[in-house]
Amino acid sequence: MPAHALLAADRPASAAAVRRRPADHLGSCLSPELLLSLQRTAGNAAVRSRFGHEPEVAVRPVAQTAVQRCGPVPCDCSAEERAEYESEHDPSEPDRVDSASEETTGVQRVAEGPQYSGTTWSSEVPVGPSARNQSTVQRYEVQDCGGTAQARHPAAEVHAAHGRARTMLSIAEMESATSTDPTVQTLARKYFKITVPPVRAADKKLWFGRVRRVLSAMNSENSKTTYECEPSQSWRNGLCSTGTFAVTILNIHLCPNWWTLNAVDDRAFVLLHEWAHRYGPSVNQILETYCDAKEFSGLSADDLVAEPDAYASYIFELVTGKAPGAAVC
C-alpha cells in the first residue's frame, strides 16, 4: 500500500472518534520495511510529521559483503532476486561474460601471394599499424602484365617494386616524426629548404601542414593503386611519351622505359614519385620540375613542397643513405 494510503487509512474521521496511539508505541511497532517504504515515498519530513519524531527501529547490523551480479552462475542471490533475473532474461540464451581484459577479435583475410586472373594481378595487404583485429583489406592491382618471369613485363617485378616503395615510405614517415634526427634535419633542408625542428611559423606550416601530411597520405593510400603495364612507349598507350617512366592519370601507367631500370630501388623511386602525384594533397598534378633540372635547386620552400621529386628524393636518401642516381634523377 502506498505511503499516502497508509497515512490516510490511519487518519481519524474526526479528532474525537479514534484515540491516537502514543508515538513511541507506534514507532516500536514499525517494521524496518514499512519505515523505509514511508521514507522513500512520503519523505522523512512526512514521517516525522506523522509520528512526531523519527521512529526508532531496531536494525540488525549487516556485515559488508561483495556485490555479486545474479545470473546463471550460482551465487548468494535471494529468491526474489533470482525470480527478477529470470523474468528479464531468456533462459535459452547463454549469458555473455563481460570482461575488461577480453579482446575483440576481428576477421582478416590476407592473400598468400599475388593472385592472377586473366590479365589482372592483385595483391591484398592488411591496413593500419597492427594487422591483428583488422577486418579491412585494401587491394592494389596490376593489369596487362605478364604472368611469368619470362614475360616482357612480368607482374612479379611490379609487386617487388611496390613492396620496396611501401617499405621505404613507411620508414621515412616514421623517422620524420623525430625532428631531432640529424639526417631528417639535413634532408629537410636539402629537399624542402625547411629548418627542422621548425621554429618559424612558416617552417611549421610547411613541415607539419605539407610535408608530413603528404607522407602520411601517401603511406595510407598507396595500397589502392591500380597499375597498368603499357605495351609500347607512345602517347596512345598511357601517355607514355619518349623518356617517360610512368604516368599518373587515374591509374598509374607503367611505361616500357620503367623496365629499363635495373635496380628495384630505382623502380621504387618512380612509384614514390607517382604516389606523391596521386595521393599527396597539394602536390602538383601536371606541371612539375624534375630533380635533375637545374631549376630544381633554385625553387623556394613553398614550391618544393609541391614537387613529387622532392618527396621521392627525400624518402630515397633517408632510407638508402644515398641520393637518387642519374637513372631516375
Contact (Cβ atoms closer than 8 angstroms) between residue 126 and residue 85: no
Q: Of 277, 273, 276, whose CA–CA distance to 327 is shortest?
A: 273
Which pLDDT score is estimated for 187?
A: 98
Instruction: Please give the grid coordinates belonging to residue 276.
Output: 606523391
Phi, psi of 120 (to 5 degrees): -120, 125
Report the run of H or E that residue 45 belongs to, with start and end: helix 44-51
Say how many domains are in the chain: 2
Burial of 32 per CB tally in 10 Å (0-12, 13-18, 19+): exposed
Asked if residue 120 and residue 41 are part of one domain, the reply reads no
Predicted confidence (pLDDT) per residue in 78-116, tens digit = 666 666 656 655 554 444 433 333 333 332 222 334 444
Q: Which of 51, 66, 88 delimits the end of a domain?
A: 51
Instruction: Please give the grid coordinates belonging to residue 66.
Output: 561483495
Rounded alpha-carbon distances, angstroms, from residue 60 to 32, 44, 57, 63: 10, 21, 10, 10
Query: Domain for residue 286, yes or no?
Result: yes
Asked if residue 122 and residue 30 are part of one domain, the reply reads no
Q: 228 falls in which pLDDT band (50, 70, 90)? A: very high
Asked if residue 232 and residue 309 are part of one domain, the reply reads yes
Instruction: Please give the grid coordinates belonging to residue 269.
Output: 623511386
Q: Is the pLDDT of residue 131 over 70?
A: no
Helices 264-279 and 308-320 meet at what angle, rounded to 10? 140
Contact (Cβ atoms closer than 8 angstroms) between residue 12 and residue 18: yes
Query: Domain for residue 237, yes or no?
Result: yes
Highest mean pLDDT (candidates 133-137, 206-210, 234-238): 206-210
Query: Domain for residue 226, yes or no?
Result: yes
Asked if residue 281 and residue 166 are part of one domain, the reply reads yes
CA 68 to chain centre: 36
Phi, psi of 246 (to 5 degrees): -160, 160
Q: Is the dihedral of CA 315, 316, 321, 324 positive or negative?
A: negative
Instruction: Please give the grid coordinates belonging to residue 307.
Output: 614537387
Q: Is the pLDDT of residue 174 over 80?
A: yes
Asked if residue 31 and residue 120 are part of one domain, the reply reads no
Query: Domain for residue 26, yes or no?
Result: yes
Q: E strands along the chain, which residues?
A: 115-117, 120-126, 137-143, 226-229, 246-248, 252-254
Asked if residue 184 and residue 36 are part of one domain, the reply reads no
Spatial separation of the C-alpha atoms in residues 281 and 46, rounded to whole Å = 71
Asked if residue 194 and residue 47 are part of one domain, the reply reads no
Query: Domain for residue 267, yes or no?
Result: yes
Contact (Cβ atoms closer than 8 angstroms) between residue 273 and residue 315: no
Q: 148 falls in which pLDDT band (50, 70, 90)? A: confident
Rounded percentage of the chain residues whose pLDDT exceeds 90: 52
Asked if residue 122 and residue 202 are part of one domain, the reply reads yes
Pairing between β-strand 226-229 and β-strand 252-254 as defined by DSSP bridges = parallel
Which pLDDT score is estimated for 81?
A: 64
Asked if residue 41 and residue 122 are part of one domain, the reply reads no
Spatial separation of the C-alpha atoms in residues 327 and 329, rounded to whole Å = 6
Predicted confidence (pLDDT) per residue in 293-317, tens digit = 999 999 999 999 999 999 999 999 9
Predicted confidence (pLDDT) per residue in 40-51, tens digit = 444 555 555 555
The parent domain of residue 38 ranges over 3-51
User: Across all residues in the chain, what is the average pLDDT?
Assistant: 74
Query: Domain for residue 90, yes or no?
Result: no
Q: Which of 16, 31, 51 delimits the end of a domain?
A: 51
Q: Residue 125: CA atoms inside 13 Å, Cβ hemisphere, count?
A: 20
Rounded percentage of the chain residues whose pLDDT exceeds 70: 58
Query: Domain for residue 105, yes or no?
Result: no
Q: Tally Cβ neighbours within 10 Å of residue 40.
A: 10
Residue type, 166: R
Asked if residue 279 and residue 187 are part of one domain, the reply reads yes
Q: Is the dihedral of CA 185, 186, 187, 192 positive or negative?
A: positive
Which pLDDT score is estimated for 61?
A: 43
Q: Tally Cβ neighbours within 10 Å of residue 317.
A: 18
Asked if residue 119 and residue 37 are part of one domain, the reply reads no
Predicted confidence (pLDDT) per residue in 202-220, tens digit = 999 999 999 999 999 999 9
Query: Domain for residue 35, yes or no?
Result: yes
Q: Is the pLDDT of residue 143 over 50?
A: yes
Q: Residue 146: CA atoms inside 13 Å, Cβ hemisphere, count?
A: 11
CATH number for 205? 3.40.390.10
Q: 66 falls in which pLDDT band (50, 70, 90)? A: very low
Q: Which residue is associated with the grid cell 614475360?
A: 151
Asked if residue 197 and residue 303 are part of one domain, the reply reads yes
Contact (Cβ atoms closer than 8 angstroms) between residue 167 and residue 153: no
